[in-house]
Amino acid sequence: MQLGLDFDAPPKARRTAALRSFHARNENAEEALAGEARAERQDDWILRWFLDRPGERVTPSELWGRFAVCRAWPLTSVRRSLTTLTLAGRLRKHPEDRRPGPRGARECCWSLA
């Protein structure tokens, strides 16, 4: 216990207990769970895109520009999906393969794991 915080205490709110994500949002449990379901669908779409193109490496902004469905999502959602799929072992991040992004900053590439 530090600064009066008990990190071992169970969540007090039902919304907090139901979520897998640690991000605090100003929504009720049903809205938060619906948001997580949308994120999973985004992950599925992006994984299918990579499965159809084995061996291809793309940056988040390249993927966002090539994949019509992605353009309906914020670029940050594409980045979140890439990170989620990488942590799950489905995609591989290639920090040695960096390309200029839309604002000039270099972005890492991803491919199917």
Domains located in the chain, CATH noted: 28-112 (1.10.10.10)
Burial class (CB in 10 A: 0-12, 13-18, 19+), 91: buried
Specify the pLDDT at position 97: 96
Give tens-digit pLDDT for 23-72.
555 666 677 676 676 777 889 999 999 999 999 999 999 998 887 666 67
Q: Are 106 and 88 in contact (CB under 8 A)?
A: no
Q: Are 42 and 64 in contact (CB under 8 A)?
A: no
What is the percent of the chain with per-residue pLDDT over 90, rounded to a whole number?
44
In the chain, what's the furthest Cα-to-Cα distance? 51
Identify the bridge partners of residue 91 per DSSP, sorted by sequence position.
112
